[in-house]
Amino acid sequence: MTRIVAIGECMVELAPCPTPDTYRAGFAGDTLNTAWYLRKMLAAEHEVAYFTAVGHDDMSQRMVAFLDAAGIVTAHIQRRHDSTVGLYMISLNNGERSFSYWRGQSAARRMLDGEGALQAALAGADMAYISGITLAILPDCDRARLLHGLQVFRDSGGKVVFDPNLRPRLWPDGAAMTGAVMQAAAVSDICLPSYEDEADWFGDATPDATAQRYRDAGVGLVVVKNGPGEIMVVADGQRVTFAPEPVLDVVDTTAAGDSFNAGFLASYLDDGDLERACVAAARLAAHVISHSGALVALDAPPLVPAPVAGA
């Protein structure tokens, strides 16, 4: 049995439905998306937990109930009286999506406030999963506490998995973002960057350069995603590349990387085979981007009907 703890912020998502002027509330967030897909991909004996902070209000209770219903362990989620969960709204203008956020005061920003809460969540866990958004939402001192807690976790045999998920609008400036990302890389065992973002913010000329930069920071296994392009995996003495099947009708790329990470980790934990993990990851991401929304049922029917045999 493997115990994985994802650490981050789950938000309320308001999506236009069924008309552009009425909205349906759901829940999403990068680390939560990965936890949700991991829970779906892993066998029942494994445990997926989420560590964050929420309020005591109705929406916070609903969020925790949503996680419970998905089979994600919520026992270590912090409850705060002084704040509630963050919110974002998706707007559609002529088919183009744009996002408005209300997350500045969200409870998740204070998730490290509780003395010993992170240590309790990680006690007995095998793997911790964080992203660049987890880093971005924390005050500087709490980010340092998180990284220290992860180092202690590693020292006792835990593995740390990190998706840099670069979001410059969450940081005061690019240098603060890239600096924090490389500090997190220094306490990570597996890193899952997306090449396009890394090239923009670190100036990497190739996916190889991205992989090498994280390897130089001490990461054992680096998986460089690249949209429809070749996936590259670099580990000690191994370099695997894998071309994902082209997705002809991309409906919504939300959570492509988050679901990819879940598919990769679930398969990698199963048998340690890097190529099979890439196949599983790309297959799951392809399914997700062929549907609308961040959390897509694994048995959701394809939106594009399969061609009729012989037609």
The site for ligand AMP (CB under 6 A) is made up of: 194, 225-228, 231, 244, 246-247, 250, 253, 256-257, 260, 282, 285-286, 289
Q: Specify the 3-state DSSP secondary structure of 64.
A: helix
Q: Could you tell me how many helices (H) and strands (E) the chain has, helices first? A: 10, 14
Nearer CB in complex with ligand AMP: 77/234: 234
φ, ψ at 261 (rounded to 5°): -60, -40
- Which is closer to ligand AMP, CB of 55 or CB of 244? 244
Q: Where are the beta strands (DSSP E) in 122-230?
A: 127-131, 159-163, 190-191, 221-224
Separation CA 245–CA 286 (nearest Å)? 8
Q: C-beta of 129: minimal distance to ligand AMP in Å?
A: 16
Closer to ligand AMP by Cβ: residue 10 or 232: 232
Q: Which of 258, 271, 273, 299 is catalytic?
A: 258
- The CB-of-90 to ligand AMP minimum distance in angstroms stands at 18
Task: Specify whether the CB–CB gap between 226 and 195 falls below 8 A.
Answer: yes
Q: Is 289 exposed, middle or buried (0-12, 13-18, 19+ CB in 10 A)?
A: buried
Q: Report the amino acid identity of residue 163.
A: D
Choice between 136 and 289, CB closer to ligand AMP? 289
Least Cβ distance, residue 6 to ligand AMP (angstroms): 17
The distance of closest approach from Cβ of residue 281 to ligand AMP in the complex, given in angstroms and rounded to an integer, is 6
**Contact, 133 vs 9, CB < 8 A?**
yes
258 is catalytic: yes
Q: Which residues are catalytic?
A: 258
